[in-house]
Amino acid sequence: MTSLAQRQNIMLLIDQAVGAGARQARACEVIGLSSRTLQRWQADRNRGDRRPQRIQLPHNRYSELERQRILSVVNSDEYGHLPPSQIVPRLADKGLYVASESTMYRLLRQAGQLSHRGRQRARQPLPKPRALSARAPNQIYSWDITYLPAAVKGQFHYLYLFLDLFSRKIVGWQVYDTEDSERASDVMRDICLREGLVPGQVVLHSDNGGPMKGATMLATLRELGVAPSFSRPAVSDDNP
């Protein structure tokens, strides 16, 4: 609905555009108004929209008491863990009709009770991961396993590469024919020995691959005093 002042302002803008050489139909198109509507407005420039400005409510709407009764049923011990799509047929099996499925969904949404209705534990907010920053060498390492094509098609070698995040120095690497955590733990032991690392000095960051989270690798890191760090799930750029 447009007020009389809005109508007069729109007609003034269109008159100015037409006076400047624009076509009336094109001016109406730019402003989002049909030519027939403009003609109707121009027939009586001092007449505004006379439709009643009121919100019509259906006469058969649920009262507040009926709403609370529906919510008490869907939140009861018997149905509190079920969605409305399962509550309605179960009530129908007992010969009961409380409300339609869409009505239950609407009332639950309005009451803010539609986010979790299962027996399982509700989703817990995930805390922001601790930020790690390297200010000198031998503080944070990152490692991964890269596939290297072999001479035989379909076969690969596996490059285990450990990188210092601060200096970008390759602190250790090996090529194996298998991919497992035992191989990675052997490389890590050699790195700690050659670099002279002490317990609690280095954080080793990686993705969530099997060799990275294998029991042998985690036990070795715990023995060496190296803190493991893993990228967040479903985050593709979290592993430097």
Residues 144 and 204 reside in one and the same domain: yes
Q: Which of 19-33, 139-153, 166-180 has the lowest mean pLDDT?
A: 19-33
Per the structure, how many domains does the chain have? 3
In a domain, 89, yes or no: yes
Residues 223 and 149 in one domain: yes
Residues 71 and 34 in one domain: no
Task: Quote the CA–CA distance of 209 and 207 in Å, as a whole number.
Answer: 6
CA neighbours within 13 Å on the CB side: how many for 17? 16
Q: Determine, yes or no, domain membership for 125.
A: no
Query: Does residue 39 sit in the same domain as residue 69?
Result: no
Say whether both 166 and 205 belong to one domain. Answer: yes
Measuring CA to CA, which residue among 63, 103, 60 is closest to residue 91?
A: 103
Q: Which residue has the higher pLDDT, 238 or 18?
A: 18
| Inside any domain, residue 93 | yes
Are 152 and 225 members of one domain? yes
36 and 71 co-located in one domain: no
In a domain, 119, yes or no: no
Please name the residue that has the structure tokens 């094509």.
Answer: 149
Residues 71 and 39 in one domain: no
Alpha-carbon distance of 33 to 28, in angstroms, equals: 5
pLDDT bin (cut points 50, 70, 90) of residue 55 is low
Could you say which DSSP state residue 152 is in? Answer: S
Q: Across residues 212-234, what is the average pLDDT?
A: 92
Note the pLDDT of residue 119.
Answer: 66
Residue 50 inside a domain? The answer is no
Model's pTM, two decimal places? 0.51
Q: Are residues 148 and 201 in the same domain?
A: yes
The predicted pLDDT at position 115 comes to: 75
Domain membership of residue 157 as a residue range: 140-230
Q: Are 38 and 28 in contact (CB under 8 A)?
A: yes
Given a cut of 70, is residue 214 above it in pLDDT? yes
E strand intervals along the chain = 140-149, 156-164, 170-176, 203-206, 227-230
Which position has the token pair 């590469």? 161
Interval 75-119: pLDDT, tens: 998 988 888 999 999 999 999 999 999 999 999 999 888 777 666
Instruction: Encode burial over 211-225: b for 16+ CB neighbours within 10 A, e otherwise.
Output: bbebeebeebbeebe
Query: Is 238's pLDDT higher than 90?
Result: no
Q: Are residues 186 and 217 in the same domain?
A: yes
Is residue 210 included in any domain, yes or no? yes
In a domain? residue 126:
no
Q: What is the mean pLDDT of residues 154-182?
A: 94
Band (pLDDT 50/70/90 cuts) for residue 61 is: confident
Q: What CATH number is given to the structural domain containing 221?
A: 3.30.420.10
